[in-house]
A and B are shown apart, each in its own frame.
Chain A
C-alpha cells in the first residue's frame, strides 16, 4: 500500500462533509425545540470539526504529490480533469465551511441555510472524488462501487461523528423527543450507508471479474490479483462495520428506552468500529500495487 496520504484524505474529507450534513439535519430536527442560542451550541462543534478534518485531509493529500511545488497549476485542467474539479470543489467546501464557522463564532448564531449550502458543495466535491477514480484504467476503481463507497462512507462516518459531537455539546439540554430523533436518524443513516455498500458488492465483483482490462498486458498494474489476495481483509472490514452498526443500534435502544442520553458512551464505541471498518475498506480499495 503506497497511497496512505490519499487514503487519509478520502476518509477525512467525506467525514467532514457528512458531519456538516448531520449538523444541517440536526438544525432541522431540533428546530422546534431550540432557540437560536441553543442551535448555535448544537451546530458549532460539527462545524469546527469539519473545518479541522477538511484542512488536515488537504494537508495529508499533499504528501501524495511527487512535486508539490507546482501545485499552483492544479486548476488549469478543470475543463477536462476530474481531479482538478475535485480539488476546486474541495477548496470551495473548506472555504465555505471556514467562512460560515467564522461568521457563527463572531455573531453567536448559525445560519442553517448556510450550513446546508456547505453540505451541497461538499457533496459535489465527493462526487468528483469518485469520478477521479472512475476515469482511470484501474479496473477495481471504474465501477459505480467507487461512488457508493465514498458516499456510503460519508453518510456512515458523518452521522456517527455528528451524533457524538452534537451529543457532547447538547446532550443534557435535549428533550426525549429530540434525543430519540437524533439517535433514530443516525441509526437509519448508518444502516443506509452500509446497506448501499453491501448491495453494490455483487455487481461490483462480477463486473471486475469480467472487465476487459483483465486481459490487457500493457497496463503495469494487476489490481484484480491484489483484490483477490485481500478477501480476508474485506471480510474483517464487514465484520467490524456490522459490529459497529449493531453497537449503535444498542445505543439507540438504550436511549429510547431510558429517555436519557444513556447511549452516548456506546455511540463512541460504535463510532470507533464504524470508522475502523471504513478505513479498512479504503485500504483494500487503494491496495493496487502489492
Chain B
C-alpha cells in the first residue's frame, strides 16, 4: 500500500500562539485573506448553581488545522476540472493550476476550509504539505516551527499506531465526511 501522509495535532498542549500559522503564511507568501494553517479557539461551558456556590465546566482550547489530505477528499470529488487531485505516492491533495478555473466549489465543499482562493491569480491554493521542504529532507514549516512540538507529521498508519485513531474534536467536522488523515489528542474540554 502506498504511503499516506498525515498530521498529528496535540491540541491538549497547544498554547494557541499561532507560530505555525505565521510560519506557513510567511513560507507561502500568503496575503491577508489566506492562511493554509489556521489556529482557532474553541470555548464553551458555563456556571451552574450548586448548593451555596457554583460549579463550572468552562473550557477553552486551541486547535491548529490545515488541509488533512483526506482519504475521501470532498474537494477532489467535487472539482469539475479534476484540478484538485490526490497524489498516489504520498496521498497529498494538490491543485493543478493549469486546470483550475477558480470556481471556488472546493472552498465551499471542504469543511476544514483548506482550499483558499488566491484573489490575485483567480486560482485556488492550499497546503501542499511543504513538498519542497520534504524533498530536501526537512520538516513541513508548521511542524518545524511549533515551539511546543504539538504538530507532527508522517505516514498516517505510523501516527495512528503511535497516537491512536481519534480525528474528531469539538469545533471540527465529523471525520466521517472526508476521512481526514489526521490524529488529534484533544484538550480535556473537547
Q: Report which A residues bind B (CB closer than 8 A).
A: 64-68, 70-71, 73-77, 80-84, 87, 132, 135-138, 141, 212-213, 215-220
Contacts and interface: CB of A to CB of B under 8 A. Distances in A.
A137 B109 contact: yes
B189 interface: no
B80 A84 contact: yes
Interface string B68-103: 000000100111111100000000000000111111
A70 B166 CA distance: 39
Contacts of B42: 217
A81 B119 CA distance: 24
B113 A218 contact: yes
A70 B117 contact: no
B17 interface: no
Nearest to A77: B80
Q: Is the interface of B mostly helix, strand, loop or mixed?
A: loop
Contacts of A218: 38, 40, 63, 65, 111-113, 171-173
Nearest to A139: B111
A84 B79 CA distance: 8
A250 to B, nearest CB: 41
Contacts of A75: 80
B54 to A, nearest CB: 25
A66 B173 contact: no
Given A73-B83, A81-B79, A84-B80, A66 B117 contact: yes
B110 interface: yes
Nearest to B38: A218
A220 B34 CA distance: 11
A132 B80 CA distance: 10
B101 A73 contact: yes
B82 A77 contact: yes
A81 B77 contact: yes
B77 A64 contact: no
A290 B99 CA distance: 29
Q: Is the interface of A mostly helix, strand, loop or mixed?
A: loop
Nearest to B84: A77
Contacts of B80: 73-77, 81, 83-84, 87
Contacts of A136: 78, 105, 108-109
Nearest to A73: B81
B159 to A, nearest CB: 19
Contacts of A137: 74, 108-111, 173, 177
B123 interface: yes
B170 interface: yes
B164 interface: no
Given A71-B101, A136-B108, 4 more contacts: A68-B101, A80-B78, A213-B173, A219-B111
The 6 closest A-B pairs by CB, nearest first: A66-B102, A66-B122, A73-B81, A217-B171, A136-B108, A83-B80
Contact of B122 (A65, A73, A87, A217): A65
Nearest to B107: A220
A68 B100 CA distance: 9
A218 B9 CA distance: 14
B104 interface: yes
Nearest to B119: A66
Nearest to B124: A66
A62 to B, nearest CB: 9
B79 A77 contact: yes
B111 A67 contact: no
Nearest to B171: A217
Nearest to B109: A136
Interface string B58-70: 0000010100000
Contacts of A70: 81, 83, 98-101
B121 A66 contact: yes
A132 B65 contact: no
A76 B122 CA distance: 20
Interface in B34-54: 38, 40-42
B82 A135 contact: no
A4 to B, nearest CB: 14
B113 A83 contact: no
Nearest to A83: B80
Contact of A219 (B82, B98, B113): B113
